[in-house]
Structure 1
Amino acid sequence: MRILNARLRETDGLHDVEVSNGRFTSITPAASIPGDAATAPASNDLDGSLRISVDVFDARGRMLVPQFVDAHLHLDYANTVGKPRLNESGTLFEAIDIWADHKAMGFVNKDLIKQNATNAIRAEVSNGVGFIRTHVDVTDPNLTALEAILEVKDEVREWCEVQIISFPQNGIFAYPNGNSLMEESLRRGADVVGGIPHFERSLTSGLRSVDWIFELAEKYDKLIDVHCDEIDDESSRFLEYMADLAVERSMQGRVTASHVVAMAYYKSGYMAKLLSKLREADVRFAINPTENLHLQGWGTDAPIPRGMAPIRTLIEGGLNVALGQDSIADPWYPIGEGDMLRILDFGLHVGHMLNEQYLGNCLDLITVNGAKNMGISDRYGIAVGNPASAIILDAPTDKEALWHQSDVLLSLHNGSVVFEREPQRTTWGSAVQS
């Protein structure tokens, strides 16, 4: 397979890219550049299909980028909104209560979970995603959701890579035998150790749960990704304890903190101290802009904060930040379709990051940064020898892809075509043309 006249991020000019046996085998300056591709400020004016022969595509100056990474999702919750009831308050804790009722009322059905999860993955993949890190609820004596998502992971492996986090939705110690279920889930095939310390019954139990998370990660040689401080409370500071443990146990770069919305309330003095610790521990972050904008800020007095972690502060502090969809039509979030450009749009707006410093490489937040969280950086990206998992965006730059919410016109996963799509075009009526 050959892709001609592709624009690569952080590289001048256009390039021809060759793929063989599922990997990138050659990346060279373009041999022939179409007349409008080299200088076109945007690709919205380029017509026609990219495919020019059986195994040759002409990007015509559009960007070839790695497939998007959704750094935080809940596939086992997908497409369950309204079962057994809607979240009328819009709060995180009502959503958790609804999910407990969902399980107690017998809605946890393996076949239905698989169907809902597969549909969610298809939605994500249709928007350019090729890598998903999903949390899966293991506070269930039967581990039904885990078994379902393990099967889905295998069934979709040819067109999407799924990484599974053992997630104790109702608490490691707050839920009966939660710690044993966590360990059993890792034995059965979960890839990453999760947690939710702020939902344990007390501060002491929360700290104890973090200790247990690190013990499991060491015992089974797993990465860590914890729902951490997802609460509108500046006194919630499990993140600092996680950073300390990462250093003490020599697990720098192996820990991801998800949500961390309490950081939005930290005072500057404590934040400065915390950022230094986070850098030393090389903690990574998974931030979910749309969901936390919806869930947080309900229980505070005016002025109402929006309750999203300070993305810009984390990045300027030298920390790795990736974005996630988090939910697709479930008790926590009633909509969502895995459109990572939409997630990026929200994140940059709320983070006050619509300046050239961030717009120029904004796709990092939904590509390479997520790959770092997943621990796949050594085989992710457009480079000779890497698996050919990439997309062509209908835009020439990061900024324009965000600006126009550009379509994905071609998606490859491990060298195979996942889908191709013709550019959308508008034909104006005579009244407009005149």
Structure 2
Amino acid sequence: MSAGLHFINVRLPHREDHRLYELKAEGGKWVSIRRQDCFLDAGDSSASRLIVPYQAGSDLKRLADADCIDLRGGIMLPGLVDCHMHLDKAFSLVQVPNRSGTLQEAIHNYSQAVQSFSKEQLAERMLTAARMALSYGTTTVRSHLDFPVHLGREVAFRTIEAALEVREKLKGSMAIQYALMVPFRGNHEAADEAVEEALRMGIDVLGGAPHLADDPEREIGRVFRMAERFGVPVDLHADESDDPGRRTVLSIAEHTICCGYQGRVTADHLCSLSAMTEKDAQHVMAKMKEAGLNAVTLPAVNLYLQGREDRGLVRRGTTRIRELLAEGIPLAAASDNIQDPFHPFGRGDLIQIAQITSYAAHMGSERDLAQLLRMITDIPAGIIGCEGYEIEEGHACNFVVTDAADVTQLLSGTKMSRWVYACGGWQSALHAAQTYA
């Protein structure tokens, strides 16, 4: 590998200025990001060798050996951030079918099947899903983990141990946070002890799905009490339902304010928000803003799961994406489930997720497309607390390059070549769509 990195003719769409840039890095950090006055060619650079990564025959070794890489006006993005995945469930569809396609059957069937999964099986699937996401440009992940203590400690901790092993294997190429799904079934005292043990083992965030509990208010309180005790953030599945009466996010907002946890709490899904009247939805969003809540939309999975009992005009199932953005609430888009009973499709490709978001929310203007990119880069990076993010001098080199000349071309999929540089190494996305065997 060359001592440093040198790029010319680069477009940085997150800067929204349509200019070309020359970038240099040393020791894994950006040292120079300079606007170009014009398009540079080989004769304008001091480099002895130039490579165009999308030229026929280009390979990773040539990239690694290059003195300078000419993107010829192609896009560079900071490493993508997927702030809501379920790595432990990925690629389990063969073992866990879902004939009705409903959320209820998915939850039931997975809870029955998880007892039969070995730690090795869980780790293998998680590693496959994480590497696939990395190959598509995701360099940071927050994954929610099932923790079925009611099935026994041995079953519950298999997932934790597998997850920690996967994180260790990917250390140096992908950053992974884990959010524990705090269980609400069974003995609460035993469950709380197990949650505390998981936190001591290295779990980063407390999560869960309190809207599914018999007493959501009590479960939200439990999560916040433990989060305060251990000083960890909270990231909850909230109101993943077509029922406009599901409004646990209001309780989440109240607890956030009472605990002084503004900016440290994330609410995911929020499907019922779209089923409410305009007046009710505005009230909920105002409370979310007051509490400083972050939000995540999971468009692929919600489009697939929600609205299944509707007849005639079927609801989209996604949350109020445009309205949340208009309120100034930090809203990210993420993958959620990959080829499991909750969602039979997916590949951990955030560019695809951004495209699906654009369809679901009718976002297609130039300004919309810039916002979609933010929803898979700097917004989720802020939600999960990434430090030194963005392509800026002094920041670490984690980025994605593509031959797309603009964001429209990128999201249309007409220019699919992508190369990923994460923590000192190159990786191609050209063969990332292999299915799990």
d(CA) in 2 for partners of 1:219 and 1:56? 50
Q: Which residue of 2 aligns with 1:6?
A: 10
Q: Which residue of 2 aligns with 1:285?
A: 295
> How far 1:419 sits from its partner (Å)?
3.7
Q: Tell me, what secondary structure is at the counterpart of 1:272? A: helix
Q: Given residue 150 of structure 1, which amino acid in structure 2 is its aligned partner? A: L
Contact in 2 for aligned 1:23/1:414 (Cα 8 Å)? no
> How far 1:7 sits from its partner (Å)?
1.1
Q: CA-to-partner distance for each residue in 1:212-265, whole Å, 9 max, x for gaps?
A: 111122111111110111112111111011112112211111111111111111
Q: CA-to-partner distance for each residue in 1:317-361, whole Å, 9 max, x for gaps?
A: 111111111111111111211111111111111112122330234
Q: Tell me, what secondary structure is at the counterpart of 1:235? A: coil
Go from structure 1 to structure 2 and tell me whether the alpha carbon gap of 1:67 and 1:219 turns closer, same or farther (over 3 Å shift): same
- 1:398 and 2:403 correspond: no
- Percent identity between matched residues is 28
Q: Which residue of 2 aligns with 1:380?
A: 389
Q: Given residue 16 of structure 1, which amino acid in structure 2 is its aligned partner? A: E
Q: Tell me, what secondary structure is at the counterpart of 2:426? A: strand
Q: Given residue 99 of structure 2, which amino acid in structure 1 is its aligned partner? A: E
d(CA) in 2 for partners of 1:160 and 1:300? 40
> How far 1:300 sits from its partner (Å)?
3.6
d(CA) in 1 for partners of 2:206 and 2:26? 35
Equivalent residues in 2 for 1:20-99 (5 A)? 20-30=26-36, 33-34=39-40, 47-48=55-56, 49=58, 53-83=65-95, 85-99=96-110
- 1:367 and 2:367 correspond: no
- 1:236 and 2:246 correspond: yes
Q: Which residue of 1 aligns with 2:197?
A: 184
Q: Given residue 128 of structure 2, which amino acid in structure 1 is its aligned partner? A: N
Contact in 1 for aligned 2:274/2:281 (Cα 8 Å)? no
Contact in 1 for aligned 2:208/2:235 (Cα 8 Å)? yes
Q: Which runs of 4+ in 1 moved over 6 A?
A: none
d(CA) in 2 for partners of 1:268 and 1:361? 23
> How far 1:173 sits from its partner (Å)?
4.4
Gaps of 5+ in 2: 43-51, 432-437
> How far 1:183 sits from its partner (Å)?
2.2
Q: CA-to-partner distance for each residue in 1:155-174, whole Å, 9 max, x for gaps?
A: 10221111111113xx3245
Q: Which residue of 2 aligns with 1:115?
A: 124
Query: Structure 2 length normalisation: TM-score?
Result: 0.87
Q: Given residue 219 of structure 1, which amino acid in structure 2 is its aligned partner? A: R
Q: Which residue of 2 aligns with 1:151?
A: 165
Q: Which residue of 2 aligns with 1:427?
A: none
d(CA) in 2 for partners of 1:180 and 1:298? 38
d(CA) in 1 for partners of 2:396 and 2:328? 28
Contact in 2 for aligned 1:23/1:385 (Cα 8 Å)? yes
d(CA) in 1 for partners of 2:107 and 2:300? 18
Contact in 1 for aligned 2:136/2:429 (Cα 8 Å)? no
Q: Given residue 155 of structure 1, which amino acid in structure 2 is its aligned partner? A: K
Question: Paired residues, what number?
Answer: 406
Contact in 2 for aligned 1:342/1:405 (Cα 8 Å)? no
Contact in 2 for aligned 1:113/1:148 (Cα 8 Å)? yes
> How far 1:276 sits from its partner (Å)?
1.5
Query: Structure 1 length normalisation: TM-score?
Result: 0.88
d(CA) in 1 for partners of 2:9 and 2:275? 47
d(CA) in 1 for partners of 2:417 and 2:225? 42
Aligned with 2:133 (options 113, 116, 124): 124
d(CA) in 2 for partners of 1:129 and 1:210? 30
Go from structure 1 to structure 2 and tell me whether the alpha carbon gap of 1:420 and 1:96 turns closer, same or farther (over 3 Å shift): closer
Q: Which residue of 1 aligns with 2:338?
A: 328
> How far 1:299 sits from its partner (Å)?
2.6
Gaps of 5+ in 1: 37-43, 423-434
Q: Tell me, what secondary structure is at the counterpart of 1:163? A: strand
Q: Tell me, what secondary structure is at the counterpart of 1:309? A: coil
Q: Given residue 399 of structure 1, which amino acid in structure 2 is its aligned partner? A: T
d(CA) in 2 for partners of 1:117 and 1:66? 23
d(CA) in 1 for partners of 2:319 and 2:143? 20
> How far 1:184 sits from its partner (Å)?
2.1
